[in-house]
């Protein structure tokens, strides 16, 4: 009976962790969708706000977080904030090293910042994917 009770407790803990993880991912995805809608309307400041809220959730899904960082990078880029765009592209590729859209965003931001050596490094990353 002791072993069964332990197994049941572990099962309940795992189920709770999975539920919490799903909740955070769902919440992050809602913010991502809201950011995408704001972006489509050209409201890049609101888009950044929503993407930031999504990033700040405790979502452990690396792919989703990478998309949020990349989307925010694009919004920053549209506002002319190329430094933040490059930083977010870096964060996205740390989470997903083969995320080609983020790699292109990082290279483009570096070109705008006139950091051509860094842009070449980004391009090399893209070619390696």
Mean of per-residue pLDDT scores for the chain:
91
Q: Which residue has the tokens 């803990």?
A: 13
Helical packing angle, 100-112 and 62-78, nearest 10° = 30
Other CB atoms within 10 Å distance of the CB of residue 69: 26
Output the furthest CA–CA distance in the chain (Å, rounded).
Answer: 68
Average pLDDT on 99-111 reads: 98
In terms of residue numbers, what domain contains 49? 3-128
pLDDT over threshold 70, residue 3: yes
pLDDT over threshold 70, residue 30: yes
Rounded Cα–Cα distance for residues 75 and 52 (Å):
11
- What pTM did the predictor assign? 0.85
Rounded Cα–Cα distance for residues 68 and 72 (Å):
6
Domain count, the chain: 1
106 and 90 Cβ atoms separated by less than 8 Å: yes
Q: What is the CATH classification number for the domain harbouring 101? A: 1.25.40.10
Average pLDDT on 16-30 reads: 77
């Amino acid at each position: 009976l002791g072993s069964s009770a332990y197994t049941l407790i572990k099962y309940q803990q795992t189920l709770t962790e999975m539920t919490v993880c799903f909740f955070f991912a769902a919440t992050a995805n809602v913010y991502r969708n809201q950011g995408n809608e704001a972006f489509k309307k050209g409201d890049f400041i609101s888009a950044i706000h929503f993407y930031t809220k999504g990033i700040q959730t405790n979502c452990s899904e690396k792919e989703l977080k990478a998309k949020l960082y990349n989307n925010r990078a694009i919004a920053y880029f549209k506002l002319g904030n190329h430094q933040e765009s490059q930083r977010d592209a870096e964060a996205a590729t740390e989470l997903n090293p083969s995320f080609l859209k983020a790699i292109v965003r990082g290279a483009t931001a570096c070109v705008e910042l006139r950091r051509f050596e860094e842009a070449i490094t980004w391009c090399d990353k893209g070619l390696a994917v």
